[in-house]
């Protein structure tokens, strides 16, 4: 057994031992991943994946579970295989604002590739399945395949565009209009999946 949960991952607010962690699915099989085309490692070949020395772990995470906390040491990124995750930011008054929503194929904690600490607190909206990838693995593969950096840049830009969308479409006008635009945004955001189910508190934290 490996003592303690992987760095950057928090389950029910405390560390767990990997071999007894009920949320741990196991070592991720990137080569045979059913949604690999959506994931950051899509540009890598089978031979590249065989050179990964550090483990990539897969988790089944229940609704409302923290993934990482703002200000914590950022040792890994988390890719979403299934489900939705919210990124939250604490205001000066102590309340939480949802600054971004993430879906399958998106990356939680992408700032860890350049910064030492997480910017936002992330938590699941409904059940989710994720993979934890140590930052050292991303840098290792980036040196091997420069196109991986381009893939990460595209994802980072997509996150910034969504933040702009929230500001421009959802934070102006009457409350009823903002709620309506939020519902339309969620349908578009979910694509072919069912939209994330937001609580009243989540809706208020976005709007």
Averaged over 71-75, what is the pLDDT?
92
Share of the chain above pLDDT 90, in %: 30
Q: Residue 147: phi, psi to the nearest 5?
A: -65, -15
Query: Model confidence at 167, in pLDDT bands (50, 70, 90)?
Result: confident
Averaged over 168-190, what is the pLDDT?
88
Give the pair of three-digit tokens for residue 154: 């595209």
**Mean pLDDT lowest among 70-79, 104-113, 144-153:** 144-153
Residue 15 pLDDT > 50: no
Cα separations in angstroms, 90 against 11, 87, 93, 95, 126 = 20, 10, 8, 6, 21
Query: Model confidence at 3, in pLDDT bands (50, 70, 90)?
Result: very low
- The pLDDT assigned to 124 comes to 94
- The pLDDT assigned to 23 comes to 65
| Cα 76-123-27 angle, rounded to 5 deg | 45
Q: What is the pLDDT of residues 138-157, one digit of tens each?
A: 888 777 777 777 777 777 77
More confident residue, 93 or 30: 93
Place of tokens 């508190």: 201
Compute how many other C-beta atoms are within 10 angstroms of the C-beta atom of residue 119.
Answer: 17
- The pLDDT assigned to 31 comes to 60
The pTM (predicted TM-score) of the whole model is 0.75
More confident residue, 72 or 95: 72
- The pLDDT assigned to 47 comes to 64
Q: How far apart are CA 182 and CA 172, in angstroms?
A: 11
């Amino acid at each position: 057994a490996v003592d303690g949960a992987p760095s950057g991952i928090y389950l029910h607010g405390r560390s767990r031992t990997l071999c007894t962690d009920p949320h741990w699915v196991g070592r991720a099989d990137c080569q045979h991943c059913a949604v690999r085309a959506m994931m950051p490692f899509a540009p890598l070949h089978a031979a590249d994946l065989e050179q990964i020395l550090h483990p990539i772990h897969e988790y089944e995470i229940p609704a409302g579970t923290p993934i990482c906390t703002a200000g914590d040491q950022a040792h890994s990124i988390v890719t979403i295989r299934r489900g939705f995750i919210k990124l939250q930011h604490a205001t000066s008054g102590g309340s939480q604002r949802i600054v971004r929503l993430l879906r399958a194929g998106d990356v939680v904690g992408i700032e860890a590739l350049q910064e030492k600490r997480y910017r936002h607190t992330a938590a699941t909206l409904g059940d989710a399945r994720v993979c934890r990838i140590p930052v050292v693995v991303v840098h290792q593969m980036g040196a091997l395949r420069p196109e991986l950096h381009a893939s990460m840049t595209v994802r980072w830009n997509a996150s910034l565009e969504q933040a702009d969308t929230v500001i421009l479409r959802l934070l102006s006008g009457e409350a009823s209009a903002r709620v309506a635009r939020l519902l339309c945004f969620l349908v578009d955001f979910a694509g072919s999946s069912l939209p994330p189910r937001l609580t009243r508190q989540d809706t208020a934290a976005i709007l």
